[in-house]
Amino acid sequence: MKNLTMFIVSDSVGETAELVAKAAASQFGRGLDSVSLKRFSHIENETQLEEIAFLASEQNAVVVYTLVKSCMRKRIKAECQKKDIKCIDLLGPVVDQLSRQLDEKPREEPGLVRKLDDDYFKKIEAIEFAVKYDDGRDPRGILKADIVLIGVSRTSKTPLSQYLAHQRYRVANVPLVPEVDPPEELFMIDPKKCFALIISPEKLNTIRKERLIALGLRDDANYARLERIEAEIEHFKEITDKIGCTVVDVTSKAVEETANVIIGELTNRIK
């Protein structure tokens, strides 16, 4: 039984072409035992393509390539034809068809799929971080976070943390309660990454009453009383003054609006 050498040529890592080559090879005889794969990754110029074509002719190899730049695809095809080498373009026909259907020119930027994958995993990491360090359950997260949210109960710290996590920010949030000393880590971080969420006592009174009713409890518990809320907000102001952080009024803001305010603040500080 014959053996075959396949050259995998890519302007990125080359995983896509190698997976396709392996899937095809598995359909024949001894499968991958009869096919030798050699990967040529991050090919950036036409001189490299000439060298690959020369090696392929020496080894009687089949060239399989995923090159996003049309000029590079034309060059490898021409070099292979010149040396009578079999070559297979895995990406070009699909890109060309999409370009026609979308009436749009492709970016021709290598490695975009990998960038998207990295972005996806960064989002997952941020979401897991927000869950792990939600509601002050582990103050160590304060030192690791990109954003730290603080506020009294029912100021949307958790949903805001999750929303920001979907924007790839690692967020820790900490509730402020008069009877409990805030974690010392709050006073160790850069105050620029700490955002304090404030809400009007009347609005918070309504929210807390609705929460108690939803839990099947009486709405006149101390938790929802206006006097208690005002005491919590006074404590909140003392802590935020010590930290020197940015205070965001969330009284009439949706989570998305608050997130945009915070992201805008961070972006302006970077400029």
pLDDT in tens, 134-145: 999 999 999 999
pTM for this predicted structure: 0.63
Q: Is the pLDDT of residue 234 over 80?
A: yes
Compute CA 257 distance to the chain's CA centroid, rounded to the nearest angstrom: 20
Does the domain made of 116-270 have the CATH classification 3.40.50?
yes
Positive or negative torsion for Cα 87, 90, 95, 98: positive
**Same fold flag, 4-110 and 116-270:** yes
R_g of the chain, CA atoms, integer Å: 29
Q: What is the pLDDT of residue 112?
A: 84
Q: How is 65-86 classified by DSSP, letter by letter?
A: EE--SHHHHHHHHHHHHHTT--
Return the H-helix or E-strand segment holding 161.
helix 157-165
| Cα(254)–Cα(239) distance, integer angstroms | 24
Map residue 173 onto helix, strand or coil. strand
| Cα(31)–Cα(18) distance, integer angstroms | 14
pLDDT in tens, 12-51: 989 889 999 999 988 987 767 788 999 999 999 999 999 9
Residue 185 CA neighbour count, 13 Å, CB half: 19
- Which has the closest alpha carbon to 13: 42, 38, 52, 44? 42
Give the mean pLDDT of 64-77. Answer: 96
Architecture of domain 4-110: 3-Layer(aba) Sandwich (3.40)
Return the H-helix or E-strand segment holding 172.
strand 171-175
Domain-by-domain residue ranges, the chain? 4-110, 116-270
Beta strand 194-198 pairing with 246-249: parallel
Tokens, residue 105: 């020119």
Question: What φ, ψ does residue 197 adopt, rounded to 5°?
Answer: -100, 120
